[in-house]
Amino acid sequence: MVNCCGLVSEKNQPVPLKSISVELQVRDHVASVSSCLQYVNEEERPLEAVFVFPLPADAAVCHFSARIGEQEIVAEVQDKQSARDQYDDAVSSGQQAFLLEESEESSDVFKLSVGCLSPGQKASITIVYIIELSVQADDALRFCLPAVLNPRYTPAVSAAGVPEVSSASVIPYTLSLSVEVRSSDRISKLESSCPLDPLEFLDAQHTHAKVNLSSGHRFDKDVELFLYYENSHHPSAVVEAGASVAESGSLMGDPALMISLYPEFPADVMSSLASQGEFIFVVDRSGSMGCKMHHGNDAQMRIESARDTLLLLLKSLPMGCYFNIYGFGSRFESFFPQSVVYSEDTMEEALKRVKSMRADMGGTEILQPLKHIYSQPCYPDHPRQLFIFTDGEVWNTKEVLDLVKSHVYSHRCFSFGIGEGASTALITGMAREGSGHAQFITGTDRMQPKVMQSLRFALQPAVDNISVDWSVPEGVTVDMLSPSINTLFQGQRALIYAQIKGQSSGQTEGSVTLKYRLKDQPVTNQLQFTLKPAEDTGLTIHRLAARSVIRSLELQERAGGADMENIRRRIVELSVQAGVSSAHTAFIGVNKDSKQTVKGPLLQRRVPVARMMGAFGGPGMNKCGMAPRMMRRSPMQCDIQSNRMRMECDSVSFKRMAPRMMRRSPMQAEPQKDPLLQLISLQKAAGCWELNASLAAVFGKTEDQVTNQKAVQVDGSVWATVLALIWLYAFKSDQQVEWQFVAMKSASWIRSQKPNGLSQCVCDGNALLGCQVTEDMLGI
């Protein structure tokens, strides 16, 4: 039975959320978001409410205040444990208190403890956060206000006895949204998934504009905004004045600089595919990978589909690149101690090991293999491309995503969720933080076409050799606050933060020179920036710069070492100084002026939110990237329980599968029934095929039938490779996305042989196979 509840009372009354008001202020590529939420306690008893909600990745909360009646509480950032102690003391003594802190497991989930509200009392809570706007494929900057405040309900009770809710009916509330944009570039347009009032330009240069969400929006879907600039690929440098009350020489007291670098990849560059790179394939071998892909009679086991996919990938790699394959579960192993050069010998060795891969490694522990991979040095001129396949979830998602993010400028991460149980937070998060692409293989989906699509993305060229050089007057220095950038891929933008220190007696401008290389072509951009910025531009850039430094320190802390306490102290100091949240701080506000003593037992109520999935989507998600409205336990509860269930599932699957798997020989376990996979398995690393009985069997011919049709002057391997290409284009055109790279290698190999009589060879091949494929179609 579906009940109407939310911040539920004993009578299942709706969530006491009455209105939401949002103000969005955009500056170039970053934004400040102010949200005001109006609550009322409709209970007959005092109420302690807990509201768990997601923020976008890399958002930094920088303001938190609450108004109760005529009194306003403005919270301050404190050490997290100290803030918790103050909150507990205030609530237990009957005072109103408010606490905002990051979830222990995920930096993009915050818990808002509303505290003690007397019966009938109203509370207005304001949260301000700052964020880097994400770049879309069409160069738009995207902002998303998730519809997390429109839950539908199915009550359940958590381990702590706190009623939790998911989705079912509309909550009575109102929503307003206003947007103001200031930019160094001309604003082209602003679009939305929801109705907007007309865009109003506030200056003749079209660099300042505002717009409002049209009235009457029900907030039944995410509010997405897409901002377009006229010259989105032009680098920019924006300087923001420091806070007048902050100490000179400190991050918040000195001017802060933000550089945007969003290289343009011309069409001719994107049409070419790289022949270099390091490709690392990381495959889940936990027990549940022994389950079927779907419930149909012809369904493969997940591990079997993964083996077929690895065959395709290994045959599609370019000669001379580097590669390695990892399997992981409760432990991990790699085929080679480190990535090796792709050749016929290394490919064959890897294929032998792929055939013996089983779902026999227990649970799902992905952090350690990733640490091992990132500890290996990258190869110069071979950008690292990571492909991760998993059907489960992990308990330490935040730590995994932080690790991927810390190496974002040295690699790309492509992730694949297999089956309905794959964690969308993990899959989409790894792709987002690794500037790659996420794919989900569910139902009757085939894994191979989705993986090969991602391989095409990985083979496209990248920007490398990136350098940043400063030219400033005497007495002025520039300190880089962002980690160094090694590589940028198509569609990836970098925001670089720096602190300008010191004073110049005369000059008021500096310059920065950005250099990089795109497909062996050097590119240079020089940008001018002021050393005396206007004083009234806010502190958005400063706070995002502080967040960048804090995140780097948090990564150092999680990596371990001797200086842990000093790192933690620096995190707290910078968090408090900048007024932005961190893993070790929280916002705390206590209303000590309240004259009224709160009496009666406290009721604790939890406001649910939908789980935020990011921009890539996933199973069961709507077009705005949100999952179906679901109930959220506390993050730790949810992770512990799901991980426990996962381990039990893996253990049972392995015990059930192991005896059967051990009875089989490797060849029996890997029957090649698909003719396409049979053909591809016979291809050599260089791209050619040998003329033999196995190849003839794929065509439905005998070896003699195939050999007798060969012209005398044509080499056997050339003839075999032409036949393979004709067969692919004639009989497997609907699966071209899967064999496109195999065919490209083959065509390239044939051209390198410069054979005589190639046109006649194609005609003879068509006659043998009963086809009509042209030489141009084959690309030879």
Give tens-digit pLDDT for 25-56: 999 999 999 988 887 877 777 776 665 556 66
Residue 119 contacts by C-beta under 8 Å, 6 or more apart in sequence? 41, 43, 44, 45, 46, 47
Q: Residues 60, 551: contact at Cβ < 8 Å?
A: no
| Rg of the chain over all Cα atoms, to the nearest angstrom | 29
**Mean pLDDT on 317-344:** 94
Q: What letter does residue 731 receive in the DSSP assignment?
A: H
* Max mean pLDDT range (193-197, 494-498, 630-634): 494-498
Is this prediction's pTM over 0.75? no
The per-type count for the chain, helices as H runs and strands as E runs, is 19, 35
Q: For the chain, what percent of residues have pLDDT higher than 90?
A: 37
Indicate the pLDDT class of residue 544, thresholds 50, 70 and 90. very high
> Which pLDDT score, from 0 to 100, does residue 485 have?
79
Res 769 pLDDT > 80: yes
Q: Residues 504, 474: contact at Cβ < 8 Å?
A: yes
> Which pLDDT score, from 0 to 100, does residue 114 have?
61
Q: Residues 594, 601: contact at Cβ < 8 Å?
A: no
Q: Residues 526, 235: contact at Cβ < 8 Å?
A: no
Res 199 pLDDT > 50: yes
Summarised one tens digit per residue, pLDDT across range 667-701 is 344 444 689 999 999 999 999 999 999 999 999 99
Phi, psi of 733 (to 5 degrees): -65, -30
Res 545 pLDDT > 90: yes
Region of poorest pLDDT, from 13-17, 55-59, 149-153? 149-153
Summarised one tens digit per residue, pLDDT across range 639-661 is 333 333 333 344 444 343 443 33
Res 236 pLDDT > 80: yes
Q: Residues 41, 141: contact at Cβ < 8 Å?
A: no
Single-letter residue type at 189: K
The CA distance from 763 to 776, in Å, is 12
Res 568 pLDDT > 60: yes
The CA distance from 506 to 509, in Å, is 9
Q: Of residues 162 and 533, which shows the higher confidence score?
A: 533
Res 206 pLDDT > 50: yes
Q: Of residues 221 and 530, which shows the higher confidence score?
A: 530
Res 765 pLDDT > 90: yes
Q: Of residues 153 and 726, which shows the higher confidence score?
A: 726
**Mean pLDDT on 316-320:** 90
Res 723 pLDDT > 90: yes
Residue 664 contacts by C-beta under 8 Å, 6 or more apart in sequence? none
Distances (CA, A) of 483 to 358, 553, 639: 39, 11, 31
Which domains does the chain show, CATH number per domain? 17-153+161-228+581-594 (2.60.40), 274-459 (3.40.50.410), 686-778 (no CATH)
Distances (CA, A) of 139 to 196, 272, 471: 21, 21, 30
Indicate the pLDDT class of residue 7, thresholds 50, 70 and 90. very low
State whether residue 47 is helix, strand or coil.
strand
> Which pLDDT score, from 0 to 100, does residue 659 have?
39
Summarised one tens digit per residue, pLDDT across range 457-493 is 788 777 888 899 999 999 999 999 998 777 777 777 8
As a 3-state breakdown, the chain gives helix, strand, coil percent values, each rounded to 5, of: 30, 30, 40
> Which pLDDT score, from 0 to 100, does residue 56 have?
64
Six-digit token string for 698: 């794929």
Task: For residue 267, count other CB atoms closer than 10 A to its CB.
Answer: 6
The CA distance from 605 to 222, in Å, is 25
**Mean pLDDT on 77-93:** 86
Q: Of residues 261 and 617, which shows the higher confidence score?
A: 261
> Which pLDDT score, from 0 to 100, does residue 592 have?
63
Indicate the pLDDT class of residue 271, thresholds 50, 70 and 90. low
Q: Residues 207, 28: contact at Cβ < 8 Å?
A: no
Summarised one tens digit per residue, pLDDT across range 593-623 is 664 544 545 444 444 443 332 222 232 333 2
Through-space distance between the first and last CA atoms of the chain, rounded to whole angstroms: 65
**Mean pLDDT on 515-543:** 88
> Which pLDDT score, from 0 to 100, does residue 221 have?
67
Summarised one tens digit per residue, pLDDT across range 108-159 is 556 666 666 788 888 788 888 899 998 887 889 988 876 653 332 222 333 3
Q: For the chain, what percent of residues have pLDDT higher than 70?
A: 78
Res 24 pLDDT > 80: yes
Single-letter residue type at 50: V
Q: Mean pLDDT, the chain, as a whole number?
A: 79
The CA distance from 120 to 602, in Å, is 14
Report DSSP letters for 22-40, one per residue.
Answer: EEEEEETTEEEEEEEEEEE
* Max mean pLDDT range (275-279, 335-339, 577-581): 335-339
Res 357 pLDDT > 70: yes
Six-digit token string for 447: 């894994």
Distances (CA, A) of 601 to 123, 165, 204, 597: 20, 22, 60, 13
Region of poorest pLDDT, from 228-232, 360-364, 539-543? 360-364
Res 636 pLDDT > 80: no
Indicate the pLDDT class of residue 15, thresholds 50, 70 and 90. very low
Task: Convert 585-620 to b/e letters by CB count within 10 Å (16 or more is b).
Answer: bbbbbbbeebeeebeeebbebbbbbbbbbbbbbbbe
Summarised one tens digit per residue, pLDDT across range 358-402 is 999 988 899 999 999 999 999 988 989 999 999 877 778 888 988
Beta strands in 84-198 (DSSP E): 96-102, 109-117, 122-132, 134-135, 141-145, 156-157, 163-164, 174-182, 187-192
Indicate the pLDDT class of residue 88, thresholds 50, 70 and 90. confident
> Which pLDDT score, from 0 to 100, does residue 278 have?
95
Res 663 pLDDT > 80: no
Indicate the pLDDT class of residue 166, thresholds 50, 70 and 90. very low
> Which pLDDT score, from 0 to 100, does residue 694 have?
94
